Structure 1
């Protein structure tokens, strides 16, 4: 590089050429270190994620609520339920928990007309957790069987009653509120219902 600078630029002194060469070398070192950093950062992030996952699993396993025994609830979703619900004792019934999650019907009346609809308020994060659980429950495995037959049958029953997919899913979410409430209240594991149909 120095030879190139000396031959190409007659008006550049040797000192200036050395300075330019040093700057080029520093840039190359910076490029190497930035490439090294770019390669190490994803590895470090993945290590941190794995560490957090292990810590989360330990905390959930130490918790008295056995939410991970239910199909479709992993450590992350269990942590979300526990964080959003907090102490289950603050809810006197599953209906209160459903209202808190925004899954209880609300009545709108004016004069003689009465209509019910789902509330748009409530704890949206808890509502999202119940939505994710409902989606997991009605999912189909690779071999074509439902992940949770009872939940799938309930969902299909609501569809057969003429409800839209969204309404049937909300009905399933509301049923899951009852199940999660009972599991947390009793600190019990999930038990599959009898599959006699």
Structure 2
């Protein structure tokens, strides 16, 4: 009988937790909408990820350039030299949470819809171009993450919205829908 009494309690607790999650999501959406940074205008960037970018970056004025933001996120290459040899590789340090946020955003950008059209044709084309250059999928994704740093930096600095550039390929995709 204790099991039969426990199950309704657990169901009620689960309903309460789900209700609290929905309330928090609504509050988060209100806060993000009131924020001057309009990051949710980027395709695939929702309120949770926008909040993570804003929380991790803070005031964009503390970065003089997109390069500094990339360095902070651990997306700038680091050079190692010894004598005559020079090597460069990605840093393993930096703000890992911010790096992860750029990773999740990059995955959203190269994703496709149910009818196999890219969510962001410009980012998808850039990713495909990097693959055609012979880069591995991981390296191409890192290149896209670095490109997204430039976009996020400019949007936060200028407090602007994201607008897809009008390219012939994008116009064709728009006419198809």
TM-score normalised by structure 1 residue count: 0.83
User: Following the alignment from structure 1 to structure 2, what is the Cα–Cα distance between the partners of residues 154 and 31?
Assistant: 56
**Pairing 1:63-78 to 2, within 5 Å after superposition:** 63-78=35-50
* 2:118 counterpart of 1:146: yes
**Pairing 1:95-134 to 2, within 5 Å after superposition:** 95-134=67-106
**CA positional deviation for 1:36:** 2.2
User: Following the alignment from structure 1 to structure 2, what is the Cα–Cα distance between the partners of residues 109 and 168?
Assistant: 25
Q: Find the structure with the greater CA-based Rg.
A: 1
Moved over 3 A (4+): 30-33
**CA positional deviation for 1:35:** 2.5
User: Following the alignment from structure 1 to structure 2, what is the Cα–Cα distance between the partners of residues 107 and 81?
Assistant: 27
**CA positional deviation for 1:53:** 0.4
Which ranges of structure 1 fall in alignment gaps of 5 or more residues?
1-27
**Pairing 1:39-50 to 2, within 5 Å after superposition:** 39-50=11-22
Return the structure number with greater relative CO, CA threshold 8 A, min gap 6. Answer: 2
Residue 56 (structure 1) aligned to one of 2, 19, 28: 28
Which ranges of structure 2 fall in alignment gaps of 5 or more residues?
170-177
TM-score normalised by structure 2 residue count: 0.92
Give the RMSD, CA atoms, in angstroms.
1.1
